[in-house]
Structure 1
Amino acid sequence: MQKLFLSTAFILAFSYYGKAEELLDTDVVDQEIVQEDLPPVLPNDSYGTVDSRLNQLEAQVQKLTDKIEVLEHRLKVKNETMMAPIAPSLGKKPSETLSEALTPTTSDATTLRTDDAQTLYAKAQEFLALGEYDTAENALKELIKSYPKDPLVINAKYWLGETYYVQGDYRRASVSFGEAYKSYKMIEKSTDPKDKEAKKLSFAKAPEALIKLVFSLKGLGKTDAACATLDQLQEEFPNQAQNVKKMVEKAKKDLTCSKK
């Protein structure tokens, strides 16, 4: 029986490591999951009981899971960056162009370029892909503050939540994901041309914001609120994209929600 428990734990640990290697085959990040992260071979007399061995394996699996989540986040940013609105000077380093995005091009110091929101958004995506979360946060906050009516604001609020979430700041992440969802609902039935453009750009982000809100609430230990949000997501968005479906299934497994 002890061998069965340990074999199951090892299979789980190595399955997570295999997923990490698959992600690392892409050119998303330079980060590596090194050999020391794998569960060591345990001598018969290294640990006391089966429980202590399983607890150590569980901790190691969780460590790998956390690293995989960061890699998945960067892969997602990489993919979405490729589809982001084209901004000027993308060939330069992000650090060189973020300040330029806020620099007036006329003698009037109060006049900013009309594409500044686009530039800030694209630069924030680049910083996210590089793992420079503080700089990405600043760019997204500047966009939201300076261009509150821009169609990219809902997406910016979502990605602001991601910068917090990937760093384990679940409180601020839950606020940003909640604001992204609320902003989308406010324009959902609007016929204003700008709102229609915003809906087109952010339609996919509404259910994504809700499911990430679920995980943020879980991270805060607010299981009841997380379960209620999960129910809300499934009621409002029954036809979910594949990535959302996968996160919903994961949330169902992670949460112990009471059935209606």
Structure 2
Amino acid sequence: MVIQTLIADDEVLARRKLRQFLSEEPDIEIAGEGSTASEVMELARAAAPQLLFLDVQMPGMNGIDLAYALADSVDIAMPQIIFTTAYDRYALQAFDLHAVDYLLKPFTAERLRSAVDRARCQLQVKQKSADRDQGHDNGADSFASRIVFKSRGRILFLPVSEIRWIGAEENYVRICAGAETHLLRETMTSMEKRLDPSLFLRVHRSAIVNLQYVKEVRTEARGDFIVQLKNGQKVAMSRSYHSRIGEIFATA
């Protein structure tokens, strides 16, 4: 599969270096280069690229806003995006856009190759899904495979498969993953929309559990429903959600 690719950067040397690195990838075909947001939009509309290397600092519109504009455009198919920038402060916004990767300048050929491999895998999965569903998108790509957030001065990339359960705490959610917990300024509703419902189930207005870590559901002496995880943790379940989890376990 040939991957039609655009390079968007306002620096000539940066575009040249990226093109040189990409010349080592036999399935990457450079469909065009743009130095401004308007040029990139026109190229994306004309070339329908599958992959876009996008700088953040660009004339007219920064790369983050440009990515949102591409996503909102009705006549442009959204490409896979790899951000390339000298600034780390946009990483969270980039991954909110489901970016394939976020490369900090100056990056090496090996680091770029890793990002291209990731994009290649995602495009292959997308193609297989399209072939299987005869071109109809089943929405699987809309669910997060990892949660990206800042914690204690670090940017963490947490695979959703490691999340045991999520609990609400006022205007925050607490993500429990193994021995660690992380507090994010999110709502339960927004988190629920990001997670695959075949793996994650909301069992209370204040709790979501990962079904892979559920050991049992039982009724306590006072009649309260409890979800017990494999590590012994207990999560309260409301009556309104009890029938939902019962149906899932009955068909498992």
TM-score of the aligned structures, taking structure 1 as reference length: 0.30
Q: Which has a greater percent of strand?
A: 2
Higher RCO, Cα 8 Å, sep 6+: 1
TM-score of the aligned structures, taking structure 2 as reference length: 0.31
Q: Which has a greater percent of helix?
A: 1
